[in-house]
Amino acid sequence: MKTTFAIAAALFAASFSVQAADIAAGQAKAQAQCAACHAVEGNWNKTMDPSYPKLAGQHADYIANTLKQYQKGGRNNAIMGGMAAGLSQQDIKDLSAFFASLEGDLYLKK
């Protein structure tokens, strides 16, 4: 009985396993989908338009939450809503990890 329970528990847990974020995959996705607006000449600290947010060095949780809000309609922006709509949960993790791994010039002024 204990063995059956242990096997069932292991299978149940495995069905919910979450793949870790992949920074390289996030970089590839970012180059394909984000760079046109959020990077100038490969510099993730310089955006195409000053009103577009800098993503380099941003907290991964913030980026992930923001992308999910665009998907769900909690944030309203036609461009970002469309960009986020096609992202999988793994894409969001990868993108968030990539941007968080970059050295950015985001800081709090004292």
The pLDDT of residue 12? 55
Determine the residue type at 30: A
- Domain locations in the chain as residue ranges: 21-101
Q: What is the pTM of this model?
A: 0.79
Q: Which among 58, 48, 54, 41 has a CA at the least distance from the CA of 99?
A: 58
Determine the residue type at 7: I
- Sorting pLDDT into bands at 50, 70 and 90, what band is 19? confident
13/70: higher pLDDT = 70
Residue pLDDT, tens place only, 100-109: 999 888 766 5
Instruction: Count CB atoms within 10 A of the CB of residue 67.
Output: 21
Superfamily of domain 21-101: Cytochrome c-like domain (1.10.760.10)
Exposed / middle / buried, residue 99 (Cβ in 10 Å: 0-12, 13-18, 19+)? buried
Residue pLDDT, tens place only, 34-70: 999 999 888 998 999 999 999 999 999 999 999 999 9
